[in-house]
Amino acid sequence: MRYVKQSFEEISIDDFYCKIALVAHNCYQVNKDKNQKIFVNRLLGFKHYAMIEHKVFVAKIDSNTYRQLIDLYNRFIVLATNNDDFYCAFSLRPLLEAYESNNLGILADLINILPSDVQEIFADFHMGKTTSRLLSAEEIDRLPRTVYDKVKYVTIKLITDRGVSHELVRHRIASYAQESTRYCNYAKDKFSNELTLIEPLDYQENKAVYDCVFGQIEQKYIELVNRNVAPEMARALLPNKLKTSIIITANVQEYKNIFALRCDQRAHPDIRDIMIPLRDYFVAKNYLVKA
């Protein structure tokens, strides 16, 4: 049994296949496949689209495309305007779902502007003309704040505990990929045959109690697994303080909501302990303007 502190890091990979592979592997805590493209295509074959949400493309579109996209009311397509300029942030999820049902409509316009290696996913799709175009990261950063907050997506990997992650996923306008206690077997060598826990904020004052209880849980968890109880059943013993790795992708507008609620004095001390430093990071990176 060991304790670690909460921490976070930004995942700023731009390549579609590299990013989706990294995010998906977080769920199973496994090393990357050598061929990430094959792995991601396998995810697509299983319709495991939750992972695909973590790569968001941003495009400048015309007024006609904008009006038609509004009518779709799709939560994975975020629209913004500034004077006579129109913008769209989207993941592949709505495109794939419409493609499978042979009902692309205006979404065909978005496939037209995808990078060529991503377009290959839509095997028999015939390219057409479009006035839309993808924006570079630099172009996104220069957008007016009213647009930027909606189309600027940030992916963060947090090392936290299960109690905090349960609260975090209540923020529904976001995408998540979390370490799975169903498939991760903490009695195996890859996890050093032990449980990793987030150190309680009051650990020094109550060390004896925490060490005793968590030590017994670890012992009994390993005992169950050694008796051929599946990890997904043995996880019934695992505590809220179990370390988890969770990746969140959301736009700046949603992060503002998260910080407003989770940095507040009334929020749980554990979630404040990770969210306040993360908010400070967003300010330092200019994702947020300091109030």
**pLDDT, tens digit, for every residue of 249-267?**
999 999 999 999 999 999 9
Q: Locate 53 and state its tokens.
A: 């949400």
pLDDT reported for residue 13? 95
- Catalytic residue numbers? 262
Other Cβ atoms less than 10 A from the Cβ of 5: the count is: 11
Examine the pLDDT at 126 and tell me if it is beyond 80: no
d(CA 170, CA 178): 14
Among the ranges given (30-34, 60-64, 112-116), the one the predictor scored with the smallest mean pLDDT:
30-34
d(CA 242, CA 15): 32
pLDDT tens for each residue of 206-234: 999 999 999 999 999 999 999 999 999 99
**Cα–chain center distance at 153:** 10
pLDDT reported for residue 130? 85
Fold (topology level) of 2-14+154-284: Gyrase A; domain 2 (3.30.1360)
Per-domain boundaries in the chain: 2-14+154-284, 56-151
Closest CA to 111 of 82, 134, 142: 134
pLDDT reported for residue 32? 66
